[in-house]
Amino acid sequence: MKKAMNAFYAQSGGVTAVINATACGVIETSRKNKQVISNVYAGRNGIIGALTEDMIDTNRETKNTIHNLQYMPGGVFGSARYKLKSIKENKAEYKRLIEVFKAHNIGYFFYNGGNDSMDTANKISIMSKDMGFPIVSLGIPKTVDNDLPMTDNCPGFGSVAKYIAISTQEAALDVASMSKTSTKVFILEVMGRHAGWIASAAGLVKKEKADAPHIILFPEIAFDKKRFLSKVKESIKKYDYCVIVASEGTRYKNGSFLSDTGNKDAFGHAQLGGVAPILAQMISKNLNLKYHYAIADYLQRSARHIASKLDVKQAYAVGQAAVEMAIKGNNAVMPVIKRISNKPYRWKIDKTDLSRVANKEKMLPKKYISKDGYAITKSCRDYLEPLIRGESYPPYEKGLPKKIKLKNISVRKLLNKKFMV
């Protein structure tokens, strides 16, 4: 029988309300298979923890603490926006990873992230074999943007969709009640650089023609200033107020973002600086209307208190499945969610090759966007509705969600050589 080895788990990129439910699934499932995986070492601040040999010993945490991870937003072990360069550009990084994994008897690598992270997991699978210390490397899907291909939806999306839908509905009621004498326009800016999945969730609120949101701005639809202002004016005339939900990636026909700051993040993505104030000024200058705006920003992805119950369940399931797949010998794959039916909604876990996901994006389909480009269609509603179902409230203490405290005890370093990132 093959000797048990350790596993390395890391969180990558922007965190979600349910990423720790995935961590819970990975660790609890590994603990049930001690004959194969003796311990799970978590990277402190993601992949950086492997490069700097700064890892957390999850065996030092109690069963109850690990179980309660599913109620915590944020990344309990620390996440990082750090993309490994190509092997030609920086072979030293891959060599260092293998040195650390070899020193700590790590034979399994679980990388919890988006499309860039799947590329890293795929590279590690290939390079570890070439370097003589094969690692079973699996990606685990996570992104609020819902833009990973090959999976029906991504863990993290259902909860942000629920938050945005609720926020839109509640803010719309507020604005409608004051529109006669005060605010006429409310703008909610949501995440979504290239794909309009999060913005589309606001459309769930609109049951009748007069309901908010009156305008949704998708990255997939080129922004036309004249048409936009005309639509705002029309909404004010008909309903006395206008609620707009704008994706941060709203762009002009030439592809330039309305809110591009000119800066790039660690993954090389454009750093966007706030489309809501730009739209607000545009409305004020051209239509002379009183406005308010809100930027959901981190609030939308950290709202564990109103997480989708289904999202929590699926986040745990992909973590559990990743370990089970690895134990069965699957390598360079990612667990995916397959939708079996809409009514009733049924799903299962399947798998796909990392090469089919790495560095690829899934846009909001055109069939999900109305003909005028400002709303969602019935098929989009049918897709979205099951994903926000159910409540999974965290335990409360003195009126606040109870925070889970981890020991986060470091694994003893075995290598003398430091590595700078």
d(CA 64, CA 133): 34
The pTM score is: 0.95
- Confidence at residue 88, expressed as pLDDT on a 0 to 100 scale: 81
Q: Provide the strand spans (E) within 248-360.
A: 260-264, 270-272, 291-295, 333-341, 346-353
End-to-end alpha carbon distance in the chain: 38
d(CA 99, CA 102): 5
CB-side exposure of 375: number of CA atoms within 13 Å?
A: 20
- Cβ neighbors of 178 (< 8 A, separation 6 or more) are none
Reduced to 3 states (helix: H, G, I; strand: E, B; else coil), residue 347 is strand
- Confidence at residue 259, expressed as pLDDT on a 0 to 100 scale: 85
Write the Ramachandran bin of 184: left for phi over 0, alpha for psi from -120 to 50, otherwise beta.
alpha
**What is the amino acid identity at position 166?**
I
Tokens for 101, please give them: 């994994």
Question: Measured between alpha carbons, how far is residue 159 from residues 75, 115, 142, 164, 200 in Å?
Answer: 15, 19, 12, 9, 13
d(CA 360, CA 88): 21
Mean pLDDT rounded to a whole number for the chain: 95
Domain architecture of the chain: domains with CATH: 5-143+306-360+393-401 (3.40.50.450), 157-304 (3.40.50.460)
DSSP letter, residue 369: B
Query: Which residue stretches of 89-146 are H helix?
Result: 91-103, 115-130
- Confidence at residue 205, expressed as pLDDT on a 0 to 100 scale: 97
Q: Annotated catalytic residue: which of 119, 145, 147, 311?
A: 145
Residue 124: phi, psi to the nearest 5? -65, -40
- Confidence at residue 418, expressed as pLDDT on a 0 to 100 scale: 84
Residue 397: phi, psi to the nearest 5? -140, 120
Question: Measured between alpha carbons, how far is residue 172 from residues 31, 80, 87, 162, 295 in Å?
Answer: 47, 35, 51, 15, 15
Q: Provide the strand spans (E) within 135-241.
A: 136-141, 185-190, 215-217
Neighbours of 218 (CB within 10 A): 28
- Confidence at residue 265, expressed as pLDDT on a 0 to 100 scale: 56
d(CA 214, CA 246): 11
- Cis link prior to 344 (omega < 30° from 0)? yes
Q: How many residues does the chain have?
A: 421
Residue 172 contacts residue 402 (beta carbons within 8 Å): no
Does 152 participate in catalysis according to the annotation?
no
d(CA 48, CA 167): 35
Write the Ramachandran bin of 343: left for phi over 0, alpha for psi from -120 to 50, otherwise beta.
beta
- Cβ neighbors of 295 (< 8 A, separation 6 or more) are 189, 274, 276
pLDDT, tens digit, 9 for 90 and up, residues 203-219:
999 999 999 999 999 99
Q: Which residues of the chain have pLDDT under 50?
A: none
